[in-house]
Amino acid sequence: MTAKLTRTDEIAAVLLILFSLGVYLASKPFPSGPTNAPGAGFFPQLIAAGISILAVIQFVKSVLDDANTSYSVTLTGISRVVIPIMLSAAFVLTMPLFGFLVGSMVFLIALMRYSGAQSYLTIVPVSIAVSLVLHYIFVEFLHVPLPESGILPISRLLPSLALVVGGIS
């Protein structure tokens, strides 16, 4: 089954503007920094504003250009977009249950397998390493608390980065 899509640039621009508006509104209640310095919501709002500006430019250019290109979309093409989105949604929805570490490891393994990686001898260590690096960056360096698993509290067993770095030197 094949469907033809037209006006894709305009549709994409409108969707990007709506997405940017959602990000901006979601980050609006974030606290400001000390002495009214930019806080946690500054960068998401800045990025959302940039995306909106570029989407408006894309929309205007597409309307003025009036080149009505059409694309054929197949079920295979749709599944290539929908399955990673569903995996991402499952990761976010199950994070309170499994926590960041376990959830991200499982998510990365599933995503790598879907993307065509074959060897679990490569997939598993890479997913563990990436999850651990992200955990240490967010928790130890940026001081952003990540969800902890009530079932498998693995991150409580990890050493503090200060202990790891102090043990090396």
Once rounded to an integer, what is the mean pLDDT over residues 118-138? Answer: 92
Among the residue ranges 11-25, 108-122, 133-147, the one predicted with the least confidence is 133-147
What pTM was computed for the model? 0.64
Q: Is the pLDDT higher at 151 or at 146?
A: 146
Is 148 within the bounds of a domain?
Answer: yes
Is 74 within the bounds of a domain?
Answer: no
Parent domain of 125:
79-169
Is 137 within the bounds of a domain?
Answer: yes
Question: CA dihedral in degrees (98, 100, 101, 106; nearest 10)?
Answer: 60
Q: Is the pLDDT higher at 71 or at 133?
A: 133
For the chain, the domain total comes to: 2
Is 39 within the bounds of a domain?
Answer: yes
Encoded amino acid at 61, one letter: K
Range among 38-42, 47-51, 137-141, 161-165 rated most confident? 47-51
Give the domain-ending residue among 41, 68, 95.
Answer: 68
Is 73 within the bounds of a domain?
Answer: no
Same domain as 87, residue 55: no
Q: Is 4 helix (H, G, I), strand (E, B) or coil?
A: strand
Residues in the chain: 169
Q: Considering the chain, what percentage of its residues have pLDDT values greater than 90?
A: 45
Residue 101 CB neighbour total at 10 angstroms: 23
Residue 102 CB neighbour total at 10 angstroms: 20
Q: What pLDDT is attached to residue 90?
A: 95
